[in-house]
Amino acid sequence: MNFELSRKGQEYLEKTKKFMETEIAPIEDEFWKEVHNTCDPKDWTTWKWPVTLEVLKAKAKKAGLWNMFLPDEKLGVGLCIQEYAHIAEQTGRSFLAPMVFNCSAPDTGNMEVLWRYGSEAQKKEWLEPLLKGEIRSVFCMTEPEVASSDATNMQATAIVEGNEIVLNGRKWWSSGLGDPNAKILIFMAHTPDPSKGHHQQHSMVLVPINVPGVKIERMLPIFGDIDAPHGHGEVSFTNVRVPIENFIGGPGQGFAIAQGRLGPGRIHHCMRCVGAAERALELMIDRGMSRVAFGKPILELGGNKEKVADARIAIAQARLMTLYAAWKMDTVGNTEAMTEISAIKVIAPNVMQQVMDMAIQIHGGMGVSDDTPLARFFGAARTLRLADGPDEVHKRVITRIELKKRGYGQKNIPGKVA
Amino acid sequence: MNFELSRKGQEYLEKTKKFMETEIAPIEDEFWKEVHNTCDPKDWTTWKWPVTLEVLKAKAKKAGLWNMFLPDEKLGVGLCIQEYAHIAEQTGRSFLAPMVFNCSAPDTGNMEVLWRYGSEAQKKEWLEPLLKGEIRSVFCMTEPEVASSDATNMQATAIVEGNEIVLNGRKWWSSGLGDPNAKILIFMAHTPDPSKGHHQQHSMVLVPINVPGVKIERMLPIFGDIDAPHGHGEVSFTNVRVPIENFIGGPGQGFAIAQGRLGPGRIHHCMRCVGAAERALELMIDRGMSRVAFGKPILELGGNKEKVADARIAIAQARLMTLYAAWKMDTVGNTEAMTEISAIKVIAPNVMQQVMDMAIQIHGGMGVSDDTPLARFFGAARTLRLADGPDEVHKRVITRIELKKRGYGQKNIPGKVA
Amino acid sequence: MNFELSRKGQEYLEKTKKFMETEIAPIEDEFWKEVHNTCDPKDWTTWKWPVTLEVLKAKAKKAGLWNMFLPDEKLGVGLCIQEYAHIAEQTGRSFLAPMVFNCSAPDTGNMEVLWRYGSEAQKKEWLEPLLKGEIRSVFCMTEPEVASSDATNMQATAIVEGNEIVLNGRKWWSSGLGDPNAKILIFMAHTPDPSKGHHQQHSMVLVPINVPGVKIERMLPIFGDIDAPHGHGEVSFTNVRVPIENFIGGPGQGFAIAQGRLGPGRIHHCMRCVGAAERALELMIDRGMSRVAFGKPILELGGNKEKVADARIAIAQARLMTLYAAWKMDTVGNTEAMTEISAIKVIAPNVMQQVMDMAIQIHGGMGVSDDTPLARFFGAARTLRLADGPDEVHKRVITRIELKKRGYGQKNIPGKVA
Amino acid sequence: MNFELSRKGQEYLEKTKKFMETEIAPIEDEFWKEVHNTCDPKDWTTWKWPVTLEVLKAKAKKAGLWNMFLPDEKLGVGLCIQEYAHIAEQTGRSFLAPMVFNCSAPDTGNMEVLWRYGSEAQKKEWLEPLLKGEIRSVFCMTEPEVASSDATNMQATAIVEGNEIVLNGRKWWSSGLGDPNAKILIFMAHTPDPSKGHHQQHSMVLVPINVPGVKIERMLPIFGDIDAPHGHGEVSFTNVRVPIENFIGGPGQGFAIAQGRLGPGRIHHCMRCVGAAERALELMIDRGMSRVAFGKPILELGGNKEKVADARIAIAQARLMTLYAAWKMDTVGNTEAMTEISAIKVIAPNVMQQVMDMAIQIHGGMGVSDDTPLARFFGAARTLRLADGPDEVHKRVITRIELKKRGYGQKNIPGKVA
């Protein structure tokens, strides 16, 4: 195990921190206030980003802090997953930073998919503008009608008819669906083929958002927060037709790609969780030391001080585990790192939720309002315990591997979580 | 200990349940949808209640299911706290029911204050319309600038000048401040009097909402939910002048009244928590048994089934403890029931939060959206762990009493939590 | 719900408390020291009770504090389960008291079995001397070779041959097997009968301890504590022959009796858990207030004080739930009280374990030694989470009932835990 | 961060594992059975080790698996702390292995003290035979009369009189005091010196066990287990006189040395915890898959399978955190690694205790007996949460450092835990 940050990683980390301190932190509150004032939460068609976003993106791009997530020397900056994890921790402290650096979900995952599995034409048409930050993208996987924790439940269909693919189905929790820049969807669906195994019958298809038959039904709130102007949406596909070239990697490749897509994405999420928890701990300490009750700073009352230690211990462990998972992905690949990826997917959002809960408690009523980022972070953490495989599915994966290690064989462990 | 429900209590309970099933449950979703469609979350001045509310209130009043919270034979229906607790559990299953029965916070507490401590003139002017359900009221206690868990921190002032009281200060988390029917505020503030003890220097003052100097600053979201058209608001008082007759119980009586006010109010909240948790458990079971993953109903996977038992055990205990506290309040009074009141104030919201968390997990993404009441219940539970004394303050009270029992004397335990 | 203690119950409770304070508490340490000095932990055949035990039993019998567990006016004192629960809480504070009052496990359960299901001859021969406290008894159910949490796994056999029953099998965790006064075993075993259902094929058989073929194999330690001179033993039965009259209630009645036996027994255990936890809380407070570190009593450091509240809340809830279960057993019977019995069987030992853990922590190293009762209580609590159905089996029962309530039918819920 | 195991570390690790598999595992049960049969738990003077111990030690020494804990090329094998941590994890799976490799507490800590701070004469007389494994040693720090979590409470005294040191006081939880090979004690005591600070007034003194005035009072059980033939003892010092040369590092150096001593010792303990937990997880899986209840392997019932994942996650995190702490100690020193040392001192024993609790539950009654190592491991884990600074003191340290980082200054954080 070696997760020493390389000199190059260190440089990017330092530059990212400085950029965040000098360019993002001073305007972030104002930025979200503008969002709040301009976007009607009930009508996503009115949503737009403050112009500041593009200004910041241009600055970040110029500073070379751009597409750092992509482990490609030319298209990204050539950081490995473990190196980028350190940077994602920093960006996770802010809701704005990931977008400024063109490193935000779900685009990062979608770009990785196109980078790894896309055809040259697909790359030209969609990957390029995504990498430039000109457009945004959506990943349509979860469905409202079935338990999506078992991906084989998927009901949406992608059927080949001549040289077209006909798409039908309904998806929800499609993040970024309300984003004014969202132009392209990756739609995952069932492509029945009795000659193949259960995990070779799903496809990923590129669907421009304005194709006939694609209908955005609504945006979904998270604990009442509609997440404008990005949004998590519900979208229906009714006899949508796209050219057969829009399969990514060909029909039936959906699960294989999903596995590849989700591994790094989970790690990015987890590191952002660590960063968010770290920021919450800072807020908690500052608040707890600046408010007085019963003659003492709040933080010194009862068990509050111990909670600082509890938070530190939990965060430190989550960070190490995430780095370890990242290092394994870099060195032995996602399949070998399955225990660690699943472990961190359970740990990081849970730790983040717990630390937010503690920090909210120290803040009193302010903690649940939008005067601090705590409530929004809380919602993000709570949601992440469900997204990309709920806690229970990841524990299931871990247990299977443990049983297998002791000789209690299980068939096909990989491919189960998607 | 005897918390057998009396025949009378049983009758009210049954009637309440039936009314909720036949009158409220069938329209509740529609009701909140109408609220959602008509109230602009960003502009509380647009808020209004669907007309259904008054229709339902009239029906409830006619059915005698009205002001059941008030232990007064004439003004209420004469149920004791423990009897009413059973009813509050039922109403807690719904966000609408408490209002329909004129039994919702903060009015219930405010009515109790006026009923117990109000002058005849105050009762005539404010208690009567409140009991009739014609207006609503607000309780202004928590302040943004100090740690309000220690009520002696309060900075707002109520100073007598001639035959007027001059009020200054800023309050937040004043529930119902955005309600179109809110007409009267109870304002708690410091009335300095060096001749008196720390707990005899605070007053409660009646302040009509439209008096000059009262300015509603904003509504505060709870995890992004603005709770329209009721709202939790921030309000400033700048040289507000009201007649000296507006003191409730006279200057310096604030803490004594607050103690009396909060005891029953906490119990009501706690029983509603139990009811909400009970409803969540039902939703969790139904969802978990109706969705299938990996070949089984979700609820039968991994540890999910055990969570049903965990929830049942926790709810059953919270219910018993609340009834026990209520019974003690009825029989030996709030002071003797202090351990139990504080205990249940810690337990009930925490149990509610935990059960909501479990139920959300079983619901997947739907659980954090507004397609079920779970997310809103979650926010309510989380907030209640801070309101009416945070968990930590109640534990502090319990510990002090325990130490005192063993001879480790503490001066003036009562009066500390307000 | 009414668990008001009757006047009669109150009187017995007061007398029990006084007896414990004046007769037992002053000599208990000395008593166990004598046990420690005289009993060789490695050789149970040397075990004997200090003579004090018989002296105290005689006094208790004379004071009428005798067989209080038995809800029979003539043989016991005629207390119902809920009344006795209050008394069991008191006796649970001590390891000696239950024996002094002839109210200790496993005899109480065994006496109940004989009282309810025994023939006149069986009562004469075994129940009478047990009720007089002349002999002790053992319940042989758990087996080393199978998962005994599922009672249908039982391998021991009780086969009728002519007018004899032939017994074979091996049992362990037979409590009291090492007791010098143990004279009679209740042996539960399989009596195969293909014409009957799964739960009608087990029998309980009375087996005098000195019958040929009964071999005490060894005593088992609990965390290193051998529990001399009572002990939990492993015993083999090899072609043991007893008269056919030794069936209790006839062949095939084992499960039915076990259900009846275990309900009250569980409640007794649980109330003793509550009493033990209460005592630990007292010790924790006294220790924590009398030792100083970093300039303060230990209890006032960090989160220690909150732990007092946590313990109080947990104990108060466990007590209420146990009383509630007892009240339901008294009023509607064991079957209707199944949720509550299982709930309390989970809660009480877990609460006891947690409170012991907290109290040990406050005591430092002393806490794990035998200088306080905490370590022994801890072992008892930990073991009780396995005995009489492990936590998991009780949660399983609770969940089934919940599912059934919501219409997700399960066949034959009763009879599953034995 | 780089905790890649070096090639050298890897080799020692492999050799250690192989030695344990081939030499220790096959005889360990028999070894402890012999201990059980030959040592009278009530009379420590009868205690002796099976001769096998010396045979194994000779083999281990010959194999070069000897004193691996000591980061000294000549006296040990020259492994750094992080390298040795991997080995300690392996030895922690067994109660015997640490002794076989001459790497068991408290000798390792005592040897480090002598190695770092001892005079040449002290090294010759005591370090040499310890390194050879000819004798064993005891560390006498904790006192029965005070809260030893605050080391400044210490009451024992070491007063210089002429060229002698006069020692008085009483110590307990002196591990190894009952060991037949224990020859030398390190006695920590107060050497009052008003001219010095609070943390410069304690000394460590070498005291041969047979010096007049040293009286072994008794051995203390841990949950009933007396830990023969090693034992944790209580010992009194009454006017014990030793030459002034017996100060280690001079008078007043006690705290400085203790700090140095405890850091690595804690890490060793923690890695052994990880190894023990790992072994328990294996036992839990094997047991859970081999026993059937309700038609399934126990492990597949209810939430049991999730517990495997919970255990794996907890263990993996504890291991990473321990290695990280070790790496920091190796690279930046104990003072800079204080957060991590304290964190792991909290985490590792707690994780071990939790995993033991889970594994015990899966084992049923067997789990609390001595038929598996689980119960003994449990006692060790529970005790370790108190030894070398209780959890609370370590959390206190962590919180102080966090507060300091945010500018909430605290004087002299180091030196507080001893």
SS3 string, A223-259, reads: CCECCCCCCEEEEEEEEEEEEHHHECCCCCCHHHHHH
Q: A402–D309: do the CB atoms touch at under 8 Å?
A: yes
Chain C partners of B317 at a C-beta cutoff of 8 Å?
317-318, 320-321, 343, 347
- Quote the mean pLDDT of chain A: 95
pLDDT digits (tens, 9 = 90+) for B322-380: 999 999 999 999 999 999 999 999 999 999 999 999 999 999 999 999 999 999 999 99
CB proximity under 8 Å: A 96-125 to B: none
CA B363 to chain centre: 27
Q: Who wins on pLDDT, C378 or A415?
A: C378
- Quote the mean pLDDT of chain D: 95
Q: Compare CB distances from C150 to D293, D369, D375 and report the shortest one's residue.
A: D293
pLDDT of residue C412: 45
The answer to whether the peptide bond before residue B229 is cis (omega within 30 degrees of 0) is yes
Confidence of residue C151 (pLDDT cuts 50, 70, 90): confident
* Nearest chain C residue to B327, by CA: C2
- Report the residue count for chain B: 418
State how far the Cα of D304 lies from the Cα of B303, in Å rounded to an integer. Answer: 7
Whether B303 contacts chain D with CB within 8 A? yes
Confidence of residue B410 (pLDDT cuts 50, 70, 90): low
Tell me the average pLDDT across D384-397: 95
The radius of gyration of chain B's CA atoms, rounded to the nearest angstrom, is 21
pLDDT digits (tens, 9 = 90+) for A173-217: 999 999 999 999 999 999 999 999 988 999 999 999 999 999 999
Query: A413: which 2 tokens?
Result: 């462990």
Strand segments, DSSP code E, in B221-295 are 232-243, 292-293
Q: Does the pLDDT at position B69 exceed 90? A: yes
What spatial distance separates the first Cα and last Cα of chain B, rounded to whole Å?
27
Q: D343–A313: do the CB atoms touch at under 8 Å?
A: yes
- Reply yes or no on domain A255-405 having CATH 3.30.565.10: no
pLDDT of residue B333: 92
Q: What is the DSSP letter of C389?
A: S
Q: Compare CB distances from C282 to B282, B306, B406 and report the shortest one's residue.
A: B406
pLDDT of residue C411: 52
Which residues does residue D159 pair with via DSSP β-bridges, in sequence order? Answer: D166
Q: Assign domain B7-135 to its CATH architecture.
A: Orthogonal Bundle (1.10)
pLDDT digits (tens, 9 = 90+) for B386-403: 999 999 999 999 999 999
State how far the Cα of D374 lies from the Cα of D360, in Å rounded to an integer. Answer: 7
Chain B partners of A418 at a C-beta cutoff of 8 Å?
none
Chain B partners of C86 at a C-beta cutoff of 8 Å?
none
pLDDT digits (tens, 9 = 90+) for C216-246: 999 999 999 999 999 999 999 999 999 999 9
Q: Does the pLDDT at position C376 exceed 50? A: yes
pLDDT of residue D410: 58
Whether B351 contacts chain C with CB within 8 A? no
Whether D295 contacts chain B with CB within 8 A? no
CB proximity under 8 Å: B 229-258 to A: 232
Tell me the average pLDDT across A341-351: 97
Residue whose pair of structure tokens reads 């990880």 in the numeric block:
D274
How large a percentage of chain C has pLDDT more than 90?
A: 92
CB proximity under 8 Å: B 309-338 to C: 309-310, 312-313, 316-318, 320-321, 323-324
Query: Are the CB atoms for D2 and D327 separated by under 8 Å?
Result: yes
pLDDT of residue A2: 80
State the smallest CA–CA distance between residue D371 and chain B in angstroms. Answer: 28
Neighbors of chain A with 3 or more C-beta pairs under 8 Å: B, C, D
Query: D218: which 2 tokens?
Result: 């008794």
Q: What is the 3-state secondary structure (H, E, C) of chain D?
A: CECCCCHHHHHHHHHHHHHHHHHHHHHHHHHHHHHHHHCCCCCHHHCCCCCHHHHHHHHHHHCCCCCCCCCCCCCCCCCCHHHHHHHHHHHCCCCCHHHHCCCCCCHHHHHHHHHHHCCHHHHHHHHHHHHHCCCEEEEECCCCCCCCCCHHHCCCEEEEECCEEEEEEEEEEEECCCCCCEEEEEEEEECCCCCCCHHHCEEEEEEECCCCCEEEEEEECECCECCCCCCEEEEEEEEEEEEHHHECCCCCCHHHHHHHHHHHHHHHHHHHHHHHHHHHHHHHHHHHHHCEECCEEHHHCCCHHHHHHHHHHHHHHHHHHHHHHHHHHHHHCCCCCHHHHHHHHHHHHHHHHHHHHHHHHHHHHHHHCCCCCHHHHHHHHHHHCCCCCCHHHHHHHHHHHHHHHCCCCCCCCCCCCC
pLDDT of residue B412: 45
- Reply yes or no on domain C137-249 having CATH 3.30.930.10: no
pLDDT of residue D265: 82
pLDDT of residue A4: 85
pLDDT digits (tens, 9 = 90+) for D73-122: 999 999 999 999 999 999 999 999 999 999 999 999 999 999 999 999 99
Whether C296 contacts chain A with CB within 8 A? no
Amino acid at position A258, single letter: A
Amino acid at position C40, single letter: D
State how far the Cα of B156 lies from the Cα of B166, in Å rounded to an integer. Answer: 11
pLDDT of residue D30: 97
pLDDT of residue C2: 80
Tell me the average pLDDT across C401-417: 71
Query: Are the CB atoms for B337 and B325 separated by under 8 Å?
Result: yes
Confidence of residue B261 (pLDDT cuts 50, 70, 90): confident
Q: Which residues contact B167 (CB under 8 A, 6 or more apart)?
A: B156, B157, B158, B187, B189, B205, B207, B213, B237, B239, B240, B241, B242
Q: Does the pLDDT at position A49 exceed 50? A: yes
Whether D161 contacts chain B with CB within 8 A? no
SS3 B261: helix
pLDDT of residue D400: 96
State the smallest CA–CA distance between residue B119 and chain A in angstroms. Answer: 33
| Nearest residue to C148 via CA among B205, D294, D83 | D294
Q: Does the pLDDT at position B237 exceed 50? A: yes
Confidence of residue D411 (pLDDT cuts 50, 70, 90): low
Q: Compare CB distances from C221 to D153, D224, D386 and report the shortest one's residue.
A: D224
> What is the domain partition of chain A in residue ranges?
7-134, 137-251, 255-405
pLDDT digits (tens, 9 = 90+) for D208-223: 999 999 999 999 999 9
Say what angle helices A254-290 and A374-384 make with each other, to 10 degrees: 150
How large a percentage of chain D has pLDDT more than 70?
A: 98
- Reply yes or no on domain A7-134 having CATH 1.10.540.10: yes
Q: C324–B320: do the CB atoms touch at under 8 Å?
A: yes
* Nearest chain D residue to B304, by CA: D303
Query: Which alpha helices (DSSP H) does B291-337 contain, by range?
Result: 304-331
Q: Say which range, C276-290, D248-262, D338-352, has the weakest mean pLDDT.
A: D248-262
pLDDT digits (tens, 9 = 90+) for B157-216: 999 999 999 999 999 999 999 999 999 999 999 999 999 998 899 999 999 999 999 999
State how far the Cα of A410 lies from the Cα of C53, in Å rounded to an integer. Answer: 58
Confidence of residue D263 (pLDDT cuts 50, 70, 90): confident
Interface with D, mutate which of C40, C369, C376, C416 (most D CBs under 10 A)? C369
Domain D137-251: CATH class, spelled out: mainly beta
pLDDT of residue D3: 81
Confidence of residue D40 (pLDDT cuts 50, 70, 90): very high
SS3 A18: helix
pLDDT of residue A264: 80
pLDDT of residue A414: 40
Q: Does the pLDDT at position C282 exceed 60? A: yes
Confidence of residue C410 (pLDDT cuts 50, 70, 90): low
pLDDT of residue C297: 96
pLDDT of residue D303: 94
- Quote the mean pLDDT of chain B: 95
CB proximity under 8 Å: C 370-389 to D: 370-371, 375-376, 378-379, 382-383, 385-387
Whether D413 contacts chain C with CB within 8 A? no
Q: Which residues of D20-44 are buried (b: 16+ CB within 10 A; e: fewer)?
A: beebbeeebeebbebbeeebebbeb
Which residues does residue C161 pair with via DSSP β-bridges, in sequence order? Answer: C164
DSSP string of B24-35, one letter each residue: IHHHHHHHHHHH
Strand segments, DSSP code E, in C191-337 are 202-208, 214-220, 232-243, 292-293, 296-297
Q: B306–D302: do the CB atoms touch at under 8 Å?
A: yes
Q: Which residues contact B10 (CB under 8 A, 6 or more apart)?
A: none
Neighbors of chain C with 3 or more C-beta pairs under 8 Å: A, B, D
Query: B69: which 2 tokens?
Result: 């919270």
Size of interface A-C (CB pairs under 8 A): 13
Confidence of residue B265 (pLDDT cuts 50, 70, 90): confident
